[in-house]
Amino acid sequence: MESTKTQNVTVEELLEDRDPNHLNQHVQLLWDDVIGEPEGGRSPESAWRVSRFCFKQSRRCCYTVLSILLAPPCALVLGCGFACLAFEQIWCATPGLRCLRVYCFSIRSLCQSLLAATVTPTMESIGHLCKHIRVNIRKDAPEEKDLLII
């Protein structure tokens, strides 16, 4: 069912939802999300309507101009940046970490052997000595009295 629905999606539907992963839901750009008048302080209805119209049109025009002028260069820079990041992860970081893992395996084995030969017997001996220690708590001890009486 899901694959049939995906195949029938038109280009217009794909272009309509430009934030399918909801990356920018926190950006509130609608009039009602930005401006609100409480009951006690209300401007005249005509001023409210003109202000709303000016807000919507100026926002739309400014965003359009900025998108036309700056979106392609930003997309170019971001595309190159993410390509460099992917290259670094694929060709440098992951193989480097893999090499480090191989190199550290022998050091890890050496450390485990040294600990097994030195620390483990020492801790077992200390545990054997301490297992005979018993602690008794008695509640019938005399209560402490306050020595300073005013």
Summarised one tens digit per residue, pLDDT across range 48-80 is 899 999 999 999 999 999 999 999 999 999 999
- Cα 104 to its chain centre, rounded Å, is 30
pTM to 2 decimals?
A: 0.52
- Residue 56's CB is within 10 A of a number of other CB atoms, namely 13
Across 136-148, average pLDDT? 66
- Compute the C-alpha angle 118/124/126, nearest 5°: 100
pLDDT of res. 76? 98
